[in-house]
């Protein structure tokens, strides 16, 4: 078919990796909620409560004001990178490397916990003012630092993708959307942001601002350090320029081009997927407590069994496929959120309306309830 001919191996890799990152990040987020709830039960004799706003200080919940101003802040950051990239590229590269190190350590942590479980107790080791860490946390951080150093030395796209994956999972796991209202505000604003900077920025700035910032490589910090310290022409001068891990890239089967997807096109829909997964779990617990009470009479039982998470995930895949086909047809960069936002939000809104959950999901969907929870295996 025509659509199939417009999708090559690099696009297929992008599809699969982005969906796996969203699913994994969403379940890590849900498990973090369960862990926080169990800690609250251990630290207090009062009954624990399940709600959308975790008491964990490391978790950030986006409110309506932040959702409205996030596209504006992103636009300002984009303009700073466009006009002053040469001045801020080293600082930006170092900050990105530090964040990517922490995020990739978070991505590796479950694997390291599994590896160290048979031979090491879970007792934390004190490092003075730096804090206390388990053996698994130290191992995951060490591996992450090693990977970042190799990436700085080689600039390989596969290592950059690994760091971008860590950033995606960490952002999906640690950022929360509290309601469908905030989700709609955030995604609608980012859709306008994406469309403007991809389609209309060239008319104002004589260049596609989004594409230029996303594809512009930065000077390697080792090269900059070598020149600043006058270490000689053969010290630190043969390191490559770095393509920053703000995107996933995969080469085509012929090696003639790379397929690229920004991490924002994974994280922002991923936050919506995380929200609906938490709501599915909340509703399942509520129905269990009410002894399996049936849903609204105007919806069949089969429809009630369809989860919001699976519906929205399918919409994400279809939207990503549509964006890819559109980019190949027009032979130009496409704002992925132009396709992802309608294909994820509209099916979710329609299903919530048909199930009778739209009003509850729109504002403060997670009310206090006392229930037991168990961990999900990811």
Active-site positions read 194, 265
Q: Are 258 and 252 in contact (CB under 8 A)?
A: yes
Distance of alpha carbon 31 from alpha carbon 33, whole angstroms: 5
* Helical H segments across 216-357, by residue range: 221-229, 264-289, 301-305, 308-330, 337-355
CA dist 79 → 73, 121, 230, 281, 301 (Å): 10, 49, 32, 40, 51
Tokens of 146: 């090693």
Q: Which tokens go with 49?
A: 């409560």
Q: Return all residues near 59 (Cβ < 8 A) that are at least 6 apart.
A: 32, 174, 175, 176
CA dihedral 204, 206, 211, 216 (to 10 degrees): -130
Q: Return d(Cα 211, Cα 44) in angstroms, integer.
A: 51
d(CA 295, CA 305): 10
CA angle in degrees (0–180, nearest 5) for 154-159-161: 135
Q: Which of 286, 377, 376, 372 is nearest to 37 (CA)?
A: 372
Alpha-carbon span 244 to 98, nearest angstrom = 12
263 φ, ψ (degrees, to nearest 5): -70, -25
């Amino acid at each position: 078919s025509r659509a199939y001919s417009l999708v090559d191996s690099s696009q297929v890799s992008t599809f699969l990796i982005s969906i796996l990152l969203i699913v994994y990040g969403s379940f890590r987020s849900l498990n973090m909620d369960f862990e926080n709830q169990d800690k609250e039960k251990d630290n207090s004799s009062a009954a624990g409560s399940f709600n959308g706003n975790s008491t964990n200080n490391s978790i950030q919940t986006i409110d309506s004001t932040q959702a409205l101003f996030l596209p504006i802040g992103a636009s300002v950051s984009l303009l700073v990178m466009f006009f002053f990239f040469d001045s801020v590229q080293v600082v930006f590269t170092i900050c990105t490397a530090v964040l990517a190190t922490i995020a990739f350590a978070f991505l590796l942590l479950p694997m390291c916990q599994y590896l160290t479980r048979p031979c090491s107790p879970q007792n934390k080791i004190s490092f003075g003012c730096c804090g206390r860490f388990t053996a698994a946390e130290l191992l995951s951080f060490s591996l992450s630092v090693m990977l970042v150093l190799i990436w700085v030395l080689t600039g390989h796209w596969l290592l950059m993708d690994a760091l971008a994956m860590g950033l995606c999972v960490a952002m999906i796991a640690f950022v929360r959307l509290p309601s469908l209202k905030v989700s709609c505000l955030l995604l609608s604003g980012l859709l306008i942001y994406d469309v403007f900077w991809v389609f209309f920025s060239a008319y104002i700035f004589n260049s596609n601002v989004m594409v230029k910032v996303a594809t512009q490589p930065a000077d390697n910090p080792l090269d900059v350090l070598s020149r600043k310290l006058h270490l000689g022409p053969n010290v630190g001068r043969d390191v490559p320029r770095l393509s920053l891990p703000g995107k996933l890239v995969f080469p085509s089967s012929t090696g003639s081009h790379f397929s690229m997807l920004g991490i924002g096109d994974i994280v922002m829909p991923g936050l919506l997927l995380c929200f609906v997964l938490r709501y599915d779990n909340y509703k399942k617990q509520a129905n269990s407590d009410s002894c399996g009470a049936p849903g609204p009479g105007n919806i069949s039982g089969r429809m009630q069994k369809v989860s919001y998470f699976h519906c929205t995930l399918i919409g994400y895949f279809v939207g990503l496929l549509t964006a890819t086909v559109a980019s190949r047809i027009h032979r130009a960069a496409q704002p992925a959120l132009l396709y992802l936002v309608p294909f994820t939000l509209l099916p979710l809104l329609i299903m919530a309306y048909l199930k009778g959950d739209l009003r509850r999901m729109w504002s403060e969907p997670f009310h206090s309830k006392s229930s037991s929870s168990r961990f999900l295996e990811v």
